[in-house]
Amino acid sequence: MDVTLAGGIGVVASLIGLAFAIYQGNFVLSQPAGNETMQRIAKAIQRGAQAFLRREYTAVTVFVIVVAIILFILSNVAGSGISSWTALAFLLGALASGIAGYVGMYIAVRANVRTTQAASESLNKGLRVAFSGGTVMGTTVVSLALLGVSVLFVLFLNQLGDAATAASALAGFGFGGTSIAIFARVGGGIYTKAADVGADLVGKTEAGIPEDDPRNPATIADNVGDNVGDVAGMGSDLFESYASSIIAAISLATLGAGVASDSVSAQIFPLLVAASGVIIGILATFLVQTQEGATQEMLLGSLRRGTYSASVAVAVVVVLLTMLLELPFEIAIATISGLAGGVAIGYFTEYFTAASYGPTKALSQSAEGGAGIVIIRGLALGMMSTLAPVIIVVLVTLIATWATGLYGVAVAAVGMLATLGITLATDAYGPVADNAGGIAEMSDLPDEVRDRTDALDSLGNTTAATGKGFAIGSAAMTALALSAAFITALGLDAGGEAVVISEILLSPTLITGLFIGALLPYIFSALTMVAVGNAAQDIVMEVRRQFKEIPGIMEGKNDPDYETCVAISTNSAIRQMLLPGIIAVAVPVVLAILTVVGRGNALSHFVDEYTLVGVLMGSLVSAFMLAVMMANAGGAWDNAKKYIESGQFGGKGSDAHKAAVVGDTVGDPFKDTSGPSLNILLKLLAIVSLVIAPMIANPTAAAPLDTTTDTAIEQTIDETATVEEEVVATDTAEEVTEEVTEEAAEDEAAAEATEDADVDVTPEATEEG
Amino acid sequence: MDVTLAGGIGVVASLIGLAFAIYQGNFVLSQPAGNETMQRIAKAIQRGAQAFLRREYTAVTVFVIVVAIILFILSNVAGSGISSWTALAFLLGALASGIAGYVGMYIAVRANVRTTQAASESLNKGLRVAFSGGTVMGTTVVSLALLGVSVLFVLFLNQLGDAATAASALAGFGFGGTSIAIFARVGGGIYTKAADVGADLVGKTEAGIPEDDPRNPATIADNVGDNVGDVAGMGSDLFESYASSIIAAISLATLGAGVASDSVSAQIFPLLVAASGVIIGILATFLVQTQEGATQEMLLGSLRRGTYSASVAVAVVVVLLTMLLELPFEIAIATISGLAGGVAIGYFTEYFTAASYGPTKALSQSAEGGAGIVIIRGLALGMMSTLAPVIIVVLVTLIATWATGLYGVAVAAVGMLATLGITLATDAYGPVADNAGGIAEMSDLPDEVRDRTDALDSLGNTTAATGKGFAIGSAAMTALALSAAFITALGLDAGGEAVVISEILLSPTLITGLFIGALLPYIFSALTMVAVGNAAQDIVMEVRRQFKEIPGIMEGKNDPDYETCVAISTNSAIRQMLLPGIIAVAVPVVLAILTVVGRGNALSHFVDEYTLVGVLMGSLVSAFMLAVMMANAGGAWDNAKKYIESGQFGGKGSDAHKAAVVGDTVGDPFKDTSGPSLNILLKLLAIVSLVIAPMIANPTAAAPLDTTTDTAIEQTIDETATVEEEVVATDTAEEVTEEVTEEAAEDEAAAEATEDADVDVTPEATEEG
């Protein structure tokens, strides 16, 4: 099968996906939208969401255009090595992710009120409408991402001629997706929690009115926030992971990393896995339904039926695909290890965060010891919960690379994300159900409706937690695959000299890069955590102003000015995401520039390619730990609070409850702002590095793994003999002597070493592929 | 100068140090010990400290003997490469650190009451007694560490003949010190906070009696805890850093890493720097004095006069030493960069944690927003505060390696720790002053005495925070130096083959090692945080029991049973430090064993030398971030609470104060248990790896950097030609062909690469030294 055909299959699958999204969207829109009050509230949320998106997309457009221009200029600088197609890919990536976010939000803020209305008929109808709303988002994200990658890869291959350059330009598409994700995930994350905290602080605490009360001017902002964070934010985050994992796999295939036999088949394999995943995801959505009076577990079971069936089906298809493409079976093993890893991470996330398991139960009980204790225990729980995801990522990495080298890591990421269509649908379902509950509350609907929306909402909380775990795990695998593609593309080699590996590992620039990389997530988290507080403060001020200046709000005689609250938190969020966003983009770019500038002078001791490599590796592991810790601690605090509210340990209003509320307050920015934002940091650092890799790639090294010739042995002898002459062309005579002497000396050591064949510490991915 | 002479100088300096410690100890003991009540309370604290030490040393003895036996057996296993002297060095290291801890505690728990008594005369007298008590600890630690290293290095060099093997055996001394540190720092850290939290919970909260009230059965345990944590714990932590940094420098010098000219001078240089530091530290203590009515700033100024003067003097001596030993001036630059880095870290720690600066002021204000907000802000502050230490460590590493390669990192660590005698004296001063206040409180002394002890105590809090920053920074530098020595000792090389560096950096085992390394600090912290809670719970139960079963405690008619509280928290602490301790020791050992077992079979894909390298690097950066974050967040919460108590934002009893108390509760285990414990984890992983390095060192590789010959060029040509023949001796014919072809191909690329001399990505420490 050639690339064009595979690209065609990708396009067809995407179009089917988009058609299905339109069908589901129409289904949702055709549902009754409830009574007038409900529609009025829903309209307010829709306007709020619209306002947020307008503001966000304005900012994003400026950012995207500036970056595209920079990319275009760079691509025209002689020797930069960046293709001018990269800028186009970047624009299209941003556009596709932007559209997916817009569509998802558009439907979600219309599915919410229709879910409320459907829930007044039956639980299953409510589930169906809400889940259909989520499905639109899920399917749109995967379809647009796959469409973009398929079309662009075929186009670039035709235009640029060779696959490696085409794959390099393709990285721009992932970068484009990331640009949206910074704004949607980081900005959206700040927005959603600022609105939540702000609304609570002044509404519940100061004015003493319940949550989702229409008299609270910030209540619409709060409901908008759910969509901004968990629909647009989550969607753009995973759009990027999805597209980037495919791009990384294609890149590594073109670079020959771990692909033994047929490079073309290896390039199209991820496209075909993704295409099958889209179709399977669509089919699996039909398995999601329930019956009246379903318990929480039955509801969860119905969602799981969908996602688990999809996983099994994808595994089968992966095996069939490797047979069809005559690829080694090991590639299937690598892909399925990623798929299984994703499911396992979801499971362990649930274990650590759901009140039905030990850890969160123990956390709830510790609330009896007061706020301090519940914070300590929650942090410890979050820290301990990093164990499972790390073991899973380690196992997946080892199995995948053992099976088929670095390429294995990328296809494992592709495998993990293959069922994203339906996984994301269950995530995006959450805010729809949450909003549905809010609308039921604000419209004073009968208790039985509220009970049903509560059941749907509670299910959404569970899927939100596992969804976060999955998002982090797949972000880590994607970032690892992207980093692998970047480092491979750098083509670092010692210019053929025999090197002492210990010295490479101890390069000061590598080590300091690791430190800087490990530092970035801490700075990023500190900034985003503080941002939530600042933005919340802005809302509090505005709500207080409205209570004072608009007469009759508290008596329900006058509507509060919802839109100003939305506007204030939007502006505050966008403003405060700039610094962390700029840091993430600037670090790799600045390091790359310093690397190029420093070549051949003393600066190169302080910054070189290894610095950036170190930064990627350091940030990968550091951000992964921190993100898992924050997400799981936050999830556990949230559920511990709810568990106590359900009547345990004194129930609502008890001292334990008060302590648990403190935990939840800390957990909110942990799980919805800072934690998820780290996903973006991880991937952003890696994809920016990959995009600019041609700029700093070792200009003299031959393409790695691509240099095997048969008659090389005789040549080597000749060349070694002439090394001395050639080296004379270098800068100083002193350096020359040193180099030659060392090289010769190490060759001597080498010859001794080859006598003992037991030791082969060089990792040789190709041999194992 | 030869090694024996330098060792002699080290011994003389140590003996002078010990004589000074005895002199100071006698001075302290000769001071009046106050009235009968004071003496009774002091006796109880002394007995408690004694009980803790007895229990701890019993456990430690078992541990040390078992490990010594294992080391001895290992050293007799053929091919392990571990010298049988290692076991002896280990025993002596444990003994020396144990003695230093015992002496420090012995004097500290006698200096406390004498400080109280002296403070009833004048502030300066109080400062002098308390600081003299701290000086005993500081001087004993550096003297015994230097004595051990000096004597053993000379001895091993004579017995084993070559410097590299001697240095390798010397690593056992550092490991011995670490064994004490696990128990003293981790166990002690758990003890001190469990006692503190336990005493507060049941005393202040339940019984409503003030802190340090003699009716509280846990109050003695609490006062013992201050000494256990900040005297014995801090001392053993820094004993290890101090000894290990010297050992790492000697090791790297013998391995030739970054040492261009005279290896012997490079080996003795760290010994002489340390010896000068001991003497300078003694002289500088005489600068520490103040006058009556001194403000907080004047008190701090008097301590700073001592430490800063010592730093300047050491810098001068370092320059003189390099001239005397005819070493390159760059070595002085590296050493002084470390010295300056230590001072800078101390400064920034103070900036982030002291209420006189912006960050902690802002944190205090945020307490008005409630407990949740103060936790979020505190965590953000801690995260942000990692910026400065990372930049400092990065700069020191880059400058030191630029100056003189990896050896530079080790001498930078030696430089940072050169003034440890007096730095540690200011740390150990803290608990003495704290206890002095407690005794004044419990003995109902007049207000003016309490005011003086409060002033001394408050100064101790500042030095405790900066001391923690310094301990973490020096632990990181020491661990880096040890890791460098370990990785260099591994002698990883590709058997002379030209390798693609990108592939080494992307070794799956290296990457998974990084993940596991980054994980360990999280697990370690989770375990220690939970341990504090559990141990505190045990104390609470005991105190409640005593209140119920012993009549008349609350009326002051009957003494509570202090000793049972001490015993319970001691046992609980020792029991709960086992798991984290075992994890830290076991991880490198298990990985080393799997590496050896896996050689030549499929297991080597999953675990090899790179795994352990990755674990060291990953844990280094991850633990450093987490430790700084925890220590500084904890320090800032503590001081924010005190700032509010001083009357700001509503003062004591206000809502802001309540919120700040929650922050402090979280901060206590952060700054006194989990954070400092990470120092031990870091160094333990590295020193255990260094000790067992001979076991897994590349058995066929030539000693790195030691193979330069002049006539090598011709030889290389011959050898390349014969590679084919020699390689035939390896396992399978297929492998041979692949290897040879690849090698040849890469040589070809190499020859091309040498034409362009601009690109030199190989870090060549020697060239720059």
B655 close contact with A: CB closer than 8 A? no
What CA–CA distance (Å, rounded) separates B562 from B567? 9
Which residues are within 8 A (CB) of A407 and not within 5 positions of it... i.e. 6 or more apart? A249, A252, A253, A257, A258, A259, A266, A331, A334, A765, A769
Name chain A contacts of B526, Cβ cutoff 8 Å.
Answer: 379-381, 383-384
pLDDT at B275: 97
What CA–CA distance (Å, rounded) separates B37 from A179? 70
pLDDT at B385: 96
Cβ–Cβ gap A721/B717 under 8 Å: yes
A358 close contact with B: CB closer than 8 A? no
pLDDT at B303: 86
B732 close contact with A: CB closer than 8 A? no
A461 close contact with B: CB closer than 8 A? no
B743 close contact with A: CB closer than 8 A? yes
φ/ψ of residue B705, rounded to 5: 65, 20
Question: pLDDT tens for residues B242-291?
Answer: 999 999 999 989 887 666 556 889 999 999 999 999 999 999 999 887 77
Q: H helices within A354-446, ranges in order?
A: 358-366, 371-384, 387-417, 420-442
Name chain B contacts of A757, Cβ cutoff 8 Å.
Answer: 727, 729-731, 735
Closest alpha carbon within chain B to A608: B761
A719 close contact with B: CB closer than 8 A? yes
pTM (2 d.p.): 0.89
B372 close contact with A: CB closer than 8 A? yes
- Dihedral (Cα; A122, A125, A130, A134), 10-degree rounding: 160
Closest alpha carbon within chain A to B198: A369
CB A164 within 8 A of CB A293: no
What the block records as the tokens of A673 is 């702002």
Closest alpha carbon within chain A to B527: A380
What CA–CA distance (Å, rounded) separates B127 from A546? 58
pLDDT at B756: 42
A498 close contact with B: CB closer than 8 A? yes
Cβ–Cβ gap A394/B512 under 8 Å: yes
What CA–CA distance (Å, rounded) separates A470 from B392? 36
Mutate one of A487, A501, A541, A713 to test the B interface: name it (highest B CB count within 10 A): A501
Q: Which long-range contacts (CB under 8 A, 24 or more apart) does B396-400 make?
A: B396/B337, B396/B338, B396/B340, B396/B341, B396/B477, B397/A508, B397/A511, B397/A512, B397/A515, B397/B480, B398/A508, B398/A509, B398/A512, B398/A605, B398/A606, B399/B333, B399/B334, B399/B337, B400/B333, B400/B334, B400/B337, B400/B338
Burial of A593 from C-beta contacts in 10 A (0-12 / 13-18 / 19+): middle
Judged by DSSP in three states, B497 sits in strand
What CA–CA distance (Å, rounded) separates A765 from A745? 28
Which regions in chain B score pLDDT beneath 70?
A: 257-262, 494-498, 698-769
Which residue type occupies A446? P
Q: Provide the b/e sequence for A716-742 (b: ≥16 CB within 10 Å).
A: bbebbbebbebbeebeeeeebeebbbb
CB B179 within 8 A of CB B189: no
B523 close contact with A: CB closer than 8 A? yes
Q: What is the ipTM of this complex?
A: 0.89
Question: pLDDT tens for residues B89-105?
Answer: 999 999 999 999 999 99
Judged by DSSP in three states, A601 sits in coil
Name chain A contacts of B393, Cβ cutoff 8 Å.
Answer: 515
What CA–CA distance (Å, rounded) separates B704 from B740? 23
What CA–CA distance (Å, rounded) separates A174 from A168? 11
Name chain B contacts of A510, Cβ cutoff 8 Å.
Answer: 505
pLDDT at B248: 92
Cβ–Cβ gap B505/A613 under 8 Å: yes
- CA distance, residue B616 to nearest chain A CA (Å): 11
Q: H helices within A491-561, ranges in order?
A: 501-505, 508-549
Q: From the list B386, B510, B712, which residue is nearest A748 (CB)?
A: B712
Q: From the list A502, A735, A757, which residue is nearest B488 (CB)?
A: A502
Judged by DSSP in three states, B388 sits in helix
Q: From the list B605, B664, B740, which residue is nearest A402 (CB)?
A: B605
What CA–CA distance (Å, rounded) separates B705 from B767? 11
- CA distance, residue B345 to nearest chain A CA (Å): 15
DSSP A628-676: HHHHHHHHHHHHHHHHHHTTGGG-TTSHHHHHHHHHHHHHHHIIIIIHH
Judged by DSSP in three states, A495 sits in strand
B366 close contact with A: CB closer than 8 A? yes
pLDDT at A497: 66
Which regions in chain A score pLDDT beneath 70?
A: 257-262, 494-498, 698-769
| Bridge partner list, A500 | B493
B705 close contact with A: CB closer than 8 A? yes
Closest alpha carbon within chain B to A395: B512
Which residues are within 8 A (CB) of B436 and not within 5 positions of it... i.e. 6 or more apart? B112, B113, B115, B116, B119, B126, B130, B453, B456, B457
Burial of A602 from C-beta contacts in 10 A (0-12 / 13-18 / 19+): exposed
Closest alpha carbon within chain B to A379: B526
- Cα angle for residues B682, B684, B686 (degrees, 5° grid): 75
Q: From the list A527, A625, A729, which residue is nearest B518 (CB)?
A: A625
